[in-house]
Structures are given as C-alpha cells and as structure tokens.
A and B are shown apart, each in its own frame.
Chain A
C-alpha cells in the first residue's frame, strides 16, 4: 500500500529488528520489553483471553488487532492490572507483574489509555496534564498545605506539560475545561497526559476511535514520534490503514488467542487473518483448520 514511504533511522532499525523473528503466533523476539505466558481470563463459561505466549519488541510499534470480541481490551486490562487473570504470568522489563496493582504499573513505566476516552472533564487541560506527572511531593496530604515544598516541582511539571501540549498542538486549549474538547482532542490530551508519566511502554487502546481523518494523520505522526523518542508502543486498533501505516509488527487476536504475527505486509496476505475479519468459514471456529 504505502511502500514508497521512506522511513527514518529509528523506524528502519525497528523494522529490521523483526527480520529474524518467526512469523508464527507467539513468536520470540530478541529484545522483548513485555512478555506474557499462558494468560487466561474466563468470564463465567466464556474464555475471553487465552494467550499462550506473547512478546513485545522493545523500541517498536506493535499493533494488536482482531475482530470485535477477540479479547484485545481484556488482554490490555490484564497486562495493566485493571483486571486479574484466572491463571498465567507476565513480565515487564524483566519484572514479574502478577498481582501488581494497576496504579503501580505506571510508576514502573507502563502507561495505558482507554478505549472510551477518560479525560477529566471538570479539570482544565493543563491540570489534566499536571496530574500525569509521577512522584509529586505536593500529592502527599501533609505537604499539601505547604506550597513552598512543591512549588518548584510544580513549575517544572507545568513547563514539561506546556512543551507536550505544544508538541500535540493543544497549547491554545491550555486553560479550557477538558470537557469542552472534541472527541479527537480528548484522545490527544489523553495520550499527552500519559506521556507525563515518562513511560517506557505506552499502551493505547483504540487511539483512532472517533477521530476524524485529518486528525488521524497527525495522531499517526505522534505515535511514530513516541517510538522515535525511544518508547515502545503497543496499541489496539480496528483501522487497518492506520495499522499498516504506523506499525512495525502486528499481532492478531481472535477468540481470545493469538492467531497470527508478522509485519503489516505479512498480515495483509495472511489467510487466517482475512478469514477472521471477513468470516470466510462462517459457523466454524477460527482456530480449526489452520
């Protein structure tokens, strides 16, 4: 599709790092930042997620795709501690994340956004941003009364927030209530706010949902920018054009399992994936006949 595009140095390196990776579900990678094994989540009798092995290559943009109900968001919730699996273990940066509370994952450098945007509507844009910074002295109640303790840090945070807002071209909205932003702007704000935590892994749950085409292009740019700044990006998406355009590696889920992995070009040709999306074998399980 977009084969004429030229890639920057980091992007090329990220793409090349996948050269020797096998194109099979649960493929091993040389340098994985996030690894999951046998993660299983059941809701009553329904198995929402059953992932045998899953790795995310450091410094790359990995897309997690799949038809509705494939378990992508549930898997996201499990990895970030927002939901607990029935069994399985997973590591982030070599540290086991089993039983780690959701709020601790951010401190470890793993931050996520949500499918339904969670901008804090009654706070201003800049306050939303400031909230994202971690290890704030003024967030301890005993320091709250003594502005002298946190004023300096607050100024640094504000400076960083303003830089990020400028980068996301939101600086003109700085003092507006987040509730007055459009859906696309809220997505941007949520992403910018997540970056305030100084993450090493950014997990975006459907960053393109409800965003107009013009803004999609710039969102793509921003996501590439994250990788170019040395972060790893894992995102869930339905928009195949966007996936093809932005990702270095694609992992496909269906019925709770990983059914395929590969570069965007591999995936576009993969018959299992096409079947999963288009339902070629209607009434049959996607996992059979592979």
Chain B
C-alpha cells in the first residue's frame, strides 16, 4: 500500500481543479437554494451555457475566444429567464421539475446530430482555449514545465488554470458574502422563510427570485467555463444530472447558506472522493481472496467509492444535518 501516493493525490484532490469548479458552482447554487430557497436542479445546464459559450467561439462563431465569456453569460441569463418566467410564481417544486428538465433538454440538444454545426454533436468541441493558454505563458507559467514541490506538484498548464480558478472562487465568495450581508440578501433570506410575509411588506418577490436564479446561474456559468478550460474541450455528457447532484452534495456537506460551506464543502467532497478512490485502488492491487470470493477487484473501485460516498452523506444528514459550517440553531427552527 503506497500511502505516499494516496496522501499526495488526496491533497491534490482537495485543492485541485475539480474542487475549484465545484466550489464556484456550489456558490451559485447556494445563492439560489441556500439563501433564497429555490430548488434549482439544473445547475449543470447553467454550466453548459458557459462551456458552450466558450466552445462556440471557435466552433461556430469563429471569433476571439474572449467573446465566449459574455456569450456564455448571455446564454445563462436567457436560460434563467426561460426557466423562471413560467415557474417562479408557482410553488418551489415546479421550479425543481422545470430546471432538471431544462438541463437535460440542453444536454440532448447540444449532443444531437441535427445541431452538430452549432454545438459539435456528441464529440463536443475542442481547440478553443489557445488564447487562455498563451495568456498563461505570457504570465511566465509555461504550460509544459513542472512547478511546485511534493506533494504539490503541478504542470504549468494545471497551475495556470488553478490560479485563475481559485482567484475566481475568492472573487465570487466575496461577492456572495457581501451581497448576502446587504439588504438585498436580507430580502432573499426572508423569501426563503415566507414569501407572503415579504410580499405584504411591499417587496416584489417574483423579481427577487428571478434575480437570485440568474445570479446563481451566472456564477454556475463561470464554473462551467473553468471546467471547459481545464479539459480543453466541451463534452455534452459532462453536463448531465449527476453533476448537479454532486454539486448539491458538496454544498450540503459544507453547510447551506454559508459562503465557507460551499467552498470547503467542495474541497471536502473531492478530498474524500480522491482518498477513497486511491485507497480502494491500492487495496484492489493486492486483492484478498476467500475461496472463490475476491474482496475488491479493480473494476469494483468506482462503484464501491460511490456507495461509500452515499453512506457518508446519509450519516452526515443523520448526525449533522446543518453540514460542517451550518448553524445548528437555525436548523432548529425548521419546524416553525
């Protein structure tokens, strides 16, 4: 058993690019779900908006890569309006149904043969991120070079994405924190508690819910951009339902309605995930057999890992429902 390798990979998992894009997406989801109480099950759809915004600059529009950022944001604002206009007047569950369906529709449309000219079909889009990479080289972080020291060793390519990614986490963490401390955030939190009370005090609840949905969606879009930049490609099947639910898991793990919860929750999620994966792989290398029964084949690692993640979540919900950073006292008032 190579504990060094397990340790190194786990640390990399905690601060790695997966944790980064999860943290940004979770911050967005936190605005919607944690602070406003909107059940958005389509965060993957918003992330796809960002990824395809970037990808389409090279694949379809044939314009500068940097236009991808405003295009992606525009896509997600449109998506937010499209989801929100019919459902935000209704009860929360309707939004959940519509968002999960919209995200799936987006995925199926972008991977369809019919629209291959726009979105690249199921092959996705590659080769759009050169400008981003060359900017990294200009800053003196050479793509091919190795940087850092054990256990934090990264290629220049990874390091550049990581630096930009963590800067964005910090930026959005700060923005969400400040907004939620403002009277605007107070209205959102009040809507989460009781819409009618907020209406009776003269606030346009519908408009606030729309603002929250779009803000969270735009933050999710940026997460999708980082994801796409890290892979250097856009793959439609990366933006399926399970992505949304893993992000939701990370958010709940850290604690909803807390900025630190979204960020640390994502780091913990990936730390845990990487640790289990590496540990189980080491076990599978030297399997123990009892008669015909072999404990851990390498093909079982993936499944078992997800089972254990699921069990962890269940235990968390039972023993610490407020998440790691949540407020126990606030939870106590859930029953009113």
Known contacts A136-B183, A141-B211, A144-B178; A82 and B196 CB within 8 A of each other = yes
> Is A121 in contact with B193, judged by CB distance below 8 angstroms?
yes
Q: Per DSSP, are chain B's interface residues mostly helix, strand or loop, or mixed?
A: helix
Contact of B189 (CB < 8 Å), options: A112, A122, A137, A144: A122
B336 contacts A179, CB within 8 Å?
Answer: yes
Interface residue tally of chain A, by bracket? 35 or more
Q: What B residues does A177 contact at CB under 8 A?
A: 329-330, 333
How distant is the Cα of A120 from the Cα of B37 in the complex, in angstroms? Answer: 13
- The reply to whether the CB of A103 lies closer than 8 angstroms to some CB of chain B is yes
Q: Report the nearest A residue to B202, measured CB to CB.
A: A106
Contact check, B184 vs A122: say whether CB atoms are below 8 A apart: no
B200 with A111: CB separation less than 8 A: yes
Report yes or no: B183 in contact with A82, Cβ–Cβ below 8 A. Answer: no
* Separation of A94 and B186 alpha carbons in the complex (Å): 33
Residues of A within 8 Å of B25, CB to CB, are none
Residue of A118, A154, A193 touching B183 (CB-CB under 8 A): A154
List of B residues within 8 angstroms of A136 by Cβ: 183
How far, in angstroms, from A165 to B330 measured CA to CA in the complex?
22
- Bound Cα distance A130, B203 (Å): 13
Per-position contact with A for B194-211: 1 when CB-CB < 8 Å, else 0? 101111111111000001
A209 at interface, CB cutoff 8 A: no
Given A103-B204, A114-B196, A131-B198, CB of A122 within 8 Å of CB of B333: yes
Q: Are A111 and B179 in contact (CB under 8 A)?
A: no
**What are the residues of chain B within 8 A of A17 when measuring CB–CB?**
none
Cβ of A126 to closest chain B Cβ, rounded Å: 11
A132 contacts partner chain B, Cβ-Cβ < 8 Å: yes
Taken residue by residue from 78 to 104, chain A's Cβ proximity to chain B (1 for < 8 Å, 0 otherwise) reads as: 001010000000000000000001111
Q: How far is the CA of A149 from the CA of B262 in the complex (A)?
A: 28
| Contact among A82, A123, A143, A197 for B201, CB-based, below 8 A | A197
Q: Which one of A107, A130, A139, A196 has the greatest number of beta carbons of chain B within 10 Å?
A: A139
Q: Tell whether A62 is near chain B: CB-to-CB under 8 Å.
A: no
Give how many B residues have a beta carbon under 8 Å from the other chain's beta carbons: 31
Judge whether B185 is part of the interface by a CB distance below 8 angstroms: yes
Kindly provide the distance from the CB of B336 to the nearest chain A CB, expressed in whole angstroms: 6
Write the chain A residue with the least CB distance to B200: A112
Chain B residues within 8 Å of A113, by CB: 200
Within 51-91 of A, Cβ neighbours of B (below 8 Å) are at 80, 82
Q: Is the pair B332, A179 in contact by a Cβ cutoff of 8 Å?
A: yes
Query: Does A147 lie within 8 Å of B182, measured CB to CB?
Result: yes
With a CB–CB cut-off of 8 A, which chain B residues contact A147? 178, 182
Q: Is A140 interfacial (CB 8 A cutoff)?
A: yes
Distance in angstroms from B228 CB to nearest chain A CB is 27
Distance in angstroms between the alpha carbons of A266 and B203 in the assembled complex: 40
A150 is an interface residue with CB less than 8 A from chain B: yes
Q: A120-B193, A123-B193 known; A144 and B199 CB under 8 Å? A: no
Nearest-neighbor residue (CB-CB) of A142 within chain B: B184
In the complex, the answer to whether B336 meets A121 with C-beta atoms within 8 Å is yes
B333→A179 contact, CB < 8 A = yes
When C-beta atoms are compared, the residue in chain B nearest to A145 turns out to be B178
Nearest CB on A from B134, distance (A): 32
Encoded as 1 (CB less than 8 Å from any B CB) or 0, chain A from 255 to 272 comes to: 000000000000000000
Q: Which of B189, B196, B202 contacts A197 (CB 8 A)?
A: B202
Which residue, B175, B215, B330, has most C-beta atoms of chain A within 10 A?
B330
| In the assembled complex, B187 has its CB within 8 A of some CB on chain A | yes
Is there a chain A Cβ closer than 8 Å to B101's Cβ? no
Q: Point out the residues of chain B lying under 8 angstroms from A33, CB to CB.
A: none
Identify B202's interface contact among A104, A127, A137, CB under 8 A.
A104
B190 contacts A by Cβ under 8 Å: yes
Is A34 interfacial (CB-CB < 8 Å)? no
CA distance A118 to B203 in the complex (A): 15
Interface hub of A121, A122, A190 (most chain B Cβ within 10 A)? A122
**Cβ B179 vs Cβ A131 within 8 A:** no
Q: Does A138 contact B (CB under 8 A)?
A: yes
| Cβ A80 vs Cβ B202 within 8 A | no
B residues within 8 A CB of A134? 201-202
Asked if A194 lies at the interface with its beta carbon under 8 angstroms from chain B, I say: yes
CA gap between A215 and B127 in the complex, in Å: 72
Minimal Cβ-Cβ distance residue in B for A147: B182
Question: Once the chains are docked, how many angstroms separate the CA of A76 from the CA of B61?
Answer: 56
Minimal beta-carbon separation of A259 from chain B (angstroms): 28
Using A107-B202, A139-B203 as known contacts, say yes or no to A150 and B193 having CB atoms under 8 A apart.
no
Give the CA-CA distance A101 to B206 in the complex, in Å: 11
The residue of chain A having its C-beta at the shortest distance from the C-beta of B330 within the complex is A122
Give B159-192 as 1s and 0s: 1 = Cβ < 8 Å from A's Cβ atoms: 0000000000000000100110011111101101
Please tell me which one of the listed residues A130, A141, A180, A194 contacts residue B186 in the complex, with CB atoms under 8 A apart: A130
A177 CB → nearest B CB, Å: 6
Kindly list chain B residues whose C-beta atoms are within 8 Å of the C-beta of A140: 184
Contacts of A130 in B (CB 8 A): 183, 186
A15 to chain B, nearest CB (A): 29
Q: For A121, list chain B residues within 8 Å (CB).
A: 193, 333, 336
CB distance from B210 to the nearest CB of A (A): 11
Interface residues of B in 296-329 (CB under 8 A from A): 329
Within the complex, the shortest CB–CB distance from B82 to chain A, in Å, comes to 20
In the assembled complex, the Cα of A43 lies from the Cα of B301 at a distance in Å of 58
Minimal beta-carbon separation of A150 from chain B (angstroms) = 6
* B183 to chain A: closest residue by CB: A138
Interface residues of B (CB under 8 A from A): 175, 178-179, 182-187, 189-190, 192-194, 196-205, 211, 215, 329-330, 332-333, 336
